[in-house]
Structure 1
Amino acid sequence: MRHNKNFNHLGRQAGHRKAMLSNMASSLILHKRIETTVAKAKAVQQFVEPLVTKSKEDTTHSRRVVFSYLKQKEAVTELFRTIAPKIAERPGGYTRILKTGFRLGDAADMCIIEFVDFNEAYTFGKVVSTEEAKPKTRRSRKSTKKTDAVEDATVVKAKAPKAPKATTAKAAPVAKKTNVGKKM
């Protein structure tokens, strides 16, 4: 039975598990996304989120606390210089897990874990402020039906002319049958 099991042990001893989570968290911080199994991604997510929250306050003490978990200077400086300012106003939920399918070798559930604010596919490479965004206005139903009918009529009339048919080349003449090589 699974009583009092607070986290996934990932089939590893405590030292191995801590080292693996530290290395995976450092890779996630440096590369902004990593591909791994779903179980490891959930463990890394629980490991990284408190560190990111700690990095919002840039003090010597918080840097030392984060370094005691990550054990890589480059990852700590990246976390405090680039990641912390970008997620400063976010109250939590700094990472996202996207399931990608199954691994070919052993059919393990694979996923991508990434920082939410660092994915250009979802933010389209730009940040839209509320001042620049135009408010959406509602239109009445009558006006939209008329414009739809007009657009349909123009689409029917505006068909492209057909391309002229290509001329086919004459077929090559068929060779005559000969009796070469046959016994008579």
Structure 2
Amino acid sequence: MRHLNKGRKLGRTPSHRKATLSALSVALIKEHRIVTTVPKAKELRTFVEPLITKAKEDTSHNRQQVFSKLEDKAVVSHLFDEVAQKAMDRPGGYTRVVKLGYRSGDNAQMAVIELVDYNDIQPADSKKKTSTRRAGKSKKTSSSADSDADVS
């Protein structure tokens, strides 16, 4: 039984899980929105929100702690300079998980995780649907239909 066991294993060893969450966090902070599976998105939320809370108070100790999790100087700077400033008045809940659908390859449930202060709720690919017209479709006229009937 899993009583009092927090977190998800995600089918990985502890070191692989740490690397996966670190890479997903870096991508989320850079892009402000990523598409991943629902369990990874929910686990990423518990991983990245304390980092954003630490980034709200810009001290060298907090920078060292965040860098030990993310291991990317440019992303740490972006987190402390831009993301934390936008999240300054928010007391938590910096991310949003929106379920999308199921992936066609393995039927895994997909989700978008995004930073709340940067994006509105919308699907990841918000392309405008355009209707295509078939230009090559030929219409037979009555005279050509009559000539086909005469040949037969």
TM-score bracket, normalised by the shorter chain, equals 0.7 to 0.9
Pair 1:177–1:22, CA change in 2 (3 A): closer
CA distance in 1, matches of 2:94, 2:121: 16
CA RMSD of aligned residues (A): 2.2
Is it true that 1:34 corresponds to 2:34 in the alignment? yes
Give the structure-1-normalised TM-score: 0.66
Aligned positions of 1:129-168 closer than 5 A: none
Distance 1:88-1:77 versus aligned 2 partners, 3 A rule: same
SS in structure 2 opposite 1:113? Answer: strand
1:101–1:178: structure 2 CA closer, same or farther, 3 Å change rule? closer
1:101-127 Cα distance to aligned partner (Å, 9 max, x none): 0011111110000000101457xxxxx
Give the match's secondary structure for 2:117.
Answer: helix
Q: Which residue of 2 aligns with 1:81?
A: 81
Letter of the structure 2 residue corresponding to residue 116 of structure 1: V
Q: Deviations over 1:36-55 (max 9, x none)?
A: 00000011000000000000
The higher-RCO structure (CA 8 Å, 6+ apart) is 2
Q: Are residues 1:53 and 2:53 paired?
A: yes
Taking the aligned partners of 2:119 and 2:143, their CA distance within structure 1 comes to: 60
C-alpha distance in 1 between matches for 2:60 and 2:101? 41
- In structure 2, relative to structure 1, the CA distance for the partners of 1:178 and 1:84 (3 Å cut) is closer
* 1: CA distance, partners of 2:82 / 2:62: 16
Distance 1:14 1:178 in 2: 78
CA deviation string 1:77-103 (max 9, x = no partner)? 110111011110000000000000001
Q: TM-score, normalised by structure 2?
A: 0.79
2:110 pairs with 1:110? yes
Larger Rg: 1
SS at match of 1:117: coil
Question: Which position in structure 2 is the counterpart of 1:156?
Answer: none
Flag structure 2 segments of 5+ consecutive residues without an equivalent: 123-141
Q: How many residues are matched?
A: 132
Change (3 A) 1:92 1:178: closer
2:11 maps to 1:7: no
Unaligned runs of 5+ in 1: 123-170, 180-184
Tell me the CA shift for residue 2 of structure 1.
Answer: 2.3
- Find the aligned partners of 1:16 and 1:178 in 2 and give their Cα distance: 74
Identity value in percent: 49
